[in-house]
């Protein structure tokens, strides 16, 4: 039979206490992630922003690489008008190497889902101010947002900004032309579409816009010129109909 000295017994007791204490501590911090996520979703749905924020903090603590959690937490912070907290969340996402575009798209999706698209715009502007080295990337996101919102002045503004760094970019030129047309400045819009064709003669969108524009103005000769060029690039029933060309429907 093993015999223990008093000191050995005390050491054994202390070890047991430590093991029990560690087990208790681990049990205390063990959480049901799915249950917390369910609570967070419920709080978010009912716009209980403070409670939702608390749940998202626990979720980030337990699983720090889930982009969707940061997106919801950032939108929640935006609803509470807490810009510093929004930036803190973004910085934590960045520290976990979550792609910035994924965070932006997540914030866009979540803010749109609750009918608060301006939260996405405000977040982009906030990040642009606080992390100026991301300006170019954010300005591209803003341009896309303003095109979606049909905000003519901002489309024109951000298209010009993007073109200052990429003057031959056809997507930015198309956005600029669209912005002019949307604002009612047809002269600048048509001029820009023609500039697009000088650089990109086969740009289907520009050809189609110009063909339709001159058709509406009654200038059928110019309309036909652009529409025929469009038809050689992409033969569609729509363009054929505009040109008065019969389309075989069989």
| Domain-located, residue 249 | no
pTM of the model: 0.81
CA atoms in the 13 A half-sphere facing the CB of 26: 6
Q: Is 27 part of any domain?
A: no
What single-letter DSSP state applies at residue 133?
Answer: G
CB within 8 Å of 162: residues ≥ 6 apart = 139, 140, 143, 169, 172, 175
In the chain, the number of structural domains is: 1
What is the pLDDT, as a whole number, of residue 11?
52
Domain contains 73: yes
The CATH code of the domain that includes 50 is 1.25.40.10
Distance between CA atoms of 233 and 238, rounded to whole angstroms? 13
Instruction: Identify whether 225 is part of a domain.
Output: no
pLDDT on residue 235: 87
Distance between CA atoms of residues 207 and 225, nearest Å? 9
* 50 assigned to some structural domain: yes
Residue numbers of the domain that contains 92:
32-149
The terminus-to-terminus CA distance of the chain in angstroms comes to: 100
pLDDT of residue 107: 98
Residue 174 lies in a domain: no
Q: Is 69 contained in some domain?
A: yes
Whether 100 is in a domain gets the answer: yes
**How do the pLDDT tens digits run along the chain, 250 residues long?**
445 455 554 554 454 445 445 444 444 456 899 999 999 999 999 999 999 999 999 999 999 999 999 999 999 999 999 999 999 999 999 999 999 999 999 999 999 999 999 999 999 999 999 999 999 999 999 999 999 999 999 999 999 999 999 999 999 999 999 999 999 999 999 999 999 999 999 999 999 999 999 999 999 999 999 999 999 999 899 888 888 864 444 3
How many Å apart are CA 97 and CA 22, to the nearest integer?
A: 31
Paired tokens of 199: 């650089």
Write out the DSSP string of 184-209.
T-HHHHHHHHHHHHHH-TT-HHHHHH
Q: What is the DSSP letter of 1?
A: -
Within a 13 Å sphere around the CA of 119, how many CA atoms are in the beta-carbon half? Answer: 26
């Amino acid at each position: 039979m093993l015999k223990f000295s008093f000191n050995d017994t005390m050491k054994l007791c202390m070890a047991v206490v430590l093991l029990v204490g560690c087990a208790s501590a681990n049990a205390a911090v063990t959480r049901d992630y799915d249950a917390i996520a369910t609570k967070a979703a419920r709080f978010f749905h009912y716009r209980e922003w403070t409670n939702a924020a608390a749940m998202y903090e626990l979720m980030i603590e337990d699983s720090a690489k889930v982009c969707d959690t940061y997106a919801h937490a950032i939108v929640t912070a935006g609803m509470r008008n807490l810009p510093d907290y929004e930036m803190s969340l973004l910085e934590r996402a960045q520290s976990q190497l979550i792609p910035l575009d994924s965070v932006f798209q997540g914030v866009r999706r979540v803010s749109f889902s609750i009918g608060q698209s301006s939260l996405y715009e405000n977040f982009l502007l906030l990040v642009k101010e606080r992390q100026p080295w991301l300006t170019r990337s954010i300005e591209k996101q803003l341009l896309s947002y303003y095109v979606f919102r049909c905000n003519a002045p901002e489309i024109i503004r951000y298209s010009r900004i993007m073109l200052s760094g990429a003057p031959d970019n056809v997507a930015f030129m198309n956005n600029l032309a669209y912005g002019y047309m949307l604002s009612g400045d047809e002269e600048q819009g048509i001029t820009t579409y023609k500039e697009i064709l000088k650089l990109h003669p086969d740009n289907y969108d520009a050809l189609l816009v110009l063909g339709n524009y001159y058709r509406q103005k009654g200038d059928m000769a110019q309309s036909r010129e652009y529409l025929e060029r469009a038809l050689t690039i992409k033969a569609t029933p729509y363009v054929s109909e505009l040109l008065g060309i019969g389309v075989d429907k069989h």
